[in-house]
Chains A and B, each alone.
Chain A
Amino acid sequence: MSYTLRGRLESRVVAALLPVAVAAGLAAALSAWWPVELAALMLGVGVALDLSAYHPLLRYQPGWLALPLGAIELALVMGLAVALDVRAPLGAALIFFSSSWLWAQLLGHAAFPLLRAEYGEDGGELPGAGDAAAAAAVIVLALTGGVAWATRPPVVHLHGVVQGPLLLNREQTLVGGVVHGGIVVTADGVTIRGTTVIGGDYGIEVRESRRVTLERVTILRAREDGIHARRSAVTVRDCTVVARPGTQGIDISFALHEHSEVSACNVVGGRSGIEIHFTMAAVHDNVVTGSGIALTEMSMGSLEDNTANAIACSDHSICELDGNTAPSFSTTFGSEAKIEGNTFGRTTVSADSVIVR
């Protein structure tokens, strides 16, 4: 097909109408804006490529070229989604993109030539339908995008010292600042970034919340655990926690059906530096000083490239360990550990536990 510029744009916009409508429906059903944001990204990337690359470079476009061009568009859309913090689940985003791409191919190669006899010789132009579709797509995207923008979770910038405890009970992003007295999270989709928390019963407590991200947080002088998550899915990265003796630096518990992640954290002190209890988790690239890391009580997870005084996999847990360094490692109470490439001093294995090397 030799598209005219107008033909490319009209075909793309008309083909995007259904995905945009589906995205709007999905957004309403899921109470999430990522479908609309993803649809807008797909359309935006496509139109930008049409204008800047496809039209000037491709005087003729054979059918097979749709595959590599689709792969390029997919890479750009996913890259932009990450860069612009579009919170689309990867699997769902891939399915949405692939379905939309397939739909566009079906329209371009079969439906449009069938419905409009002159489609091919007119270079993909869809007189009338093209204008109407462009208007419809722009209106739908503008409306949903506008609503999405108006109702998007707020970003709260803290300046200076704030007296807590702070209760975060709706989706939001908290950035910076120093909070005295701790933070309590009770809503899904909360992000805390670059905040220092001093004191409080717990430094940051997360209760029954999903998609919680704690990034570059510093926790000091909490009376109990530094980060305390229950029945939640939490991503903790680049954190610093100084824990009191007899407490946990980071304790993520009772969320066997959720997946949490702790990475690149520096934990000092405590009875246990990082405690994963009855939870699925990936713990990697952390440094724990003065205490250890433990997966306990039927937890399932991986520990990679961590450094600690001790590492334990206990109480019917299933652990994969790779590249960790610790003076002691223990597998006890019916646990199973698969270990490879670790540097351990003393290794203790109870009679009912298994180590697979």
Chain B
Amino acid sequence: MRCTFGSATLSPVSESCAIIGSGLAALTAKAALADAEIDAVVFGDQPDPAAAWRVRAAAIRQTHMRSESDGHCRPRTFPGLAVRDTLRKRDPWPLLLSVTDRYRPSVDAFLADVDAVRKDSAWDASFRQARIAEIRPIAGGFLLGQSPHVPGTCRVRARYEGPFKHVLVATGHPGLNLPPELADDPRVVHSYEPHEYGEHVAVVGAGMAAATEWRNASAAGAEVTSVRRREPLRRPLNLPRHLFTKRGLAAYHRLDPWTRVSFLRELSAPSYPPGREWEVRVHVTQCVPDEVDQVICATGFVQGAQHEPLLASLPRQDGWIELSPGATVPSLTDDTRTLAVSGVHAQWAFPAADTLAGMRYVAHRFARRCRTR
């Protein structure tokens, strides 16, 4: 059965900036816009910007962030979480750890800060619970189409919000990734879904979530088998540090599309931080043993913009949307309007776009366009 659009209505709303999505990338953008004294409407499923992240962190029993002091949703890196921690505890230790790049904020501290940013940026006042299904370019802006089903029919009545001059798409990861060969296996659970641990656990994957699950399952008394195709990299952050600033980005932006694709593929190799706390004794195999009673897929998210309906039609290079260095979509951005992308889908502009630093990078550039155009 194929549903069709019925009549369309146009909302009277006409703010200049809109954010589609209601996760951490959206909150970071909202905070940057609020910092620049720009009003923006946020369209999303969840009023709590940490809702999805909170569930995933709890599922893997994450206690500390991989990010450092500046891994927060605020528009300015200072004061970071280490400074706030130091002031709150009246203890210089977090600050000293931060100076040596060894500070890792706790998940609780991070989530408390998310709540504070939510309040400071007037997130709730700007939030509209709505699922945007279509971005329709018009002269000088965009209309955002919702598609609520008409009850009792297969018809959809399109309702448009806008027009908006500047739109940021921050919809996050398209979904959890499960290897197809394990899709029907009743023992399988994704690491980001709530779960307990069996007696003999196979953990598929070799990234940060997998390393966390090795620790969790071992601590729960399970015999752990690591199922992986290649040895994981050990590095403190997702990427080399210079790629978080203009210094590394300038060279990255000069890469031709093919080189950039292979560079991004290399960077997406699974990794987790060095350190003894991550050393867990596990059996290593390349396929799931029959005798395990639980298979935890620490295989991250579905990769590629083709899986995100709002972005699927945009020009791509091997799954990555082609963006300008400022994370805007060149074909739909000009002097009068902006369509920008944040979060994981902005890797063409910022390789670590799925990190908080990457979200802030895009937010700053989006805010600048909103302010100057």
Contact = CB atoms under 8 A, between A and B. Distances in A.
A7 B250 CA distance: 13
A118 B98 contact: no
A2 B248 contact: yes
27 contacts: A2-B242, A2-B244, A7-B247, A59-B241, A60-B241, A60-B242, A63-B99, A63-B100, A64-B99, A110-B78, A110-B79, A113-B77, A113-B78, A117-B35, A117-B76, A117-B77, A117-B364, A118-B364, A120-B77, A121-B244, A121-B245, A121-B246, A121-B360, A121-B361, A122-B246, A123-B245, A125-B246
Contacts of B360: 121
Interface in B295-313: none
A62 B364 CA distance: 23
Contact of B246 (A7, A62, A63, A113): A7
Interface in A117-137: 117-123, 125
Interface string B72-113: 000111110000000000000000001111000000000000
A109 B75 CA distance: 15
Contacts of B32: 117
Contacts of B240: 59-60
Contact of A121 (B78, B99, B364): B364
Nearest to B367: A117
Given A59-B247, A63-B100, A119 B242 contact: no
Contacts of B77: 113, 117, 119-120
Given A3-B247, A114-B76, A117-B35, A59 B99 contact: no
B357 interface: yes
B100 A62 contact: yes
B241 A2 contact: yes
The 8 closest A-B pairs by CB, nearest first: A63-B99, A113-B78, A2-B242, A2-B245, A123-B246, A60-B241, A2-B247, A123-B245
Contacts of A354: none
Contacts of B101: 62-63
A3 B241 CA distance: 11
A63 B97 CA distance: 10
Contact of A4 (B76, B100, B247): B247
A117 B75 contact: yes
A2 B100 CA distance: 15
A266 B20 CA distance: 88
A24 B133 CA distance: 63
Contacts of B99: 62-64
Contacts of B250: 4
Nearest to B99: A63
B70 interface: yes
Interface in B354-368: 357, 360-361, 364
A118 B371 CA distance: 15
A3 B250 CA distance: 12
A110 B361 CA distance: 18
B245 A113 contact: no
Contacts of B70: 120
Nearest to B36: A117
Given A114-B76, A117-B32, A123-B247, 10 more contacts: A2-B248, A3-B245, A3-B247, A7-B246, A59-B247, A60-B240, A62-B99, A113-B77, A122-B246, A123-B246
Could you tell me the dominant secondary structure of chain A's interface residues?
loop
A264 interface: no
A118 B326 CA distance: 13
Contacts of B244: 2, 120-121
Interface string A241-283: 0000000000000000000000000000000000000000000
B247 A114 contact: no
A1 interface: yes
Contacts of A123: 245-247
Contacts of B35: 117
Interface string B319-360: 000000000000000000000000000000000000001001
Q: Which of A1, A63, A118, A125 has the most CB of B within 10 A?
A: A118
A296 B185 CA distance: 102
Interface in B243-265: 244-248, 250
Nearest to A1: B245
Contacts of A1: 245
Contacts of B247: 2-4, 7, 59, 123
Contacts of A118: 364
B33 to A, nearest CB: 11
A314 B357 CA distance: 74
A113 B78 CA distance: 6
Contacts of A63: 98-101
Nearest to A5: B247
Nearest to A60: B241
Contacts of A60: 240-242
Q: Which of B70, B100, B246, B357 has the most CB of A within 10 A?
A: B246
A62 B76 CA distance: 19
Q: Which of B79, B101, B242, B360 has the most CB of A within 10 A?
A: B242
B78 A109 contact: yes
Nearest to A61: B241
A70 to B, nearest CB: 13
Interface string B24-66: 0000000010010000000000000000000000000000000
A247 B135 CA distance: 103
A122 B245 contact: yes
A59 B241 CA distance: 8
Interface string A54-66: 0000011011100
Q: Which of A63, A117, A123 has the most CB of B within 10 A?
A: A117
Contacts of B248: 2, 59
A110 B245 CA distance: 17
Nearest to A4: B247
Contacts of B357: 121
Contact of B78 (A2, A7, A114): A114
Q: Which of A113, A119, A121 has the most CB of B within 10 A?
A: A121
Contacts of B361: 121
A122 B246 CA distance: 5
A59 B78 contact: no
Contacts of B100: 62-64
Nearest to A118: B364
Contacts of A62: 99-101
B76 A113 contact: yes
A50 to B, nearest CB: 13
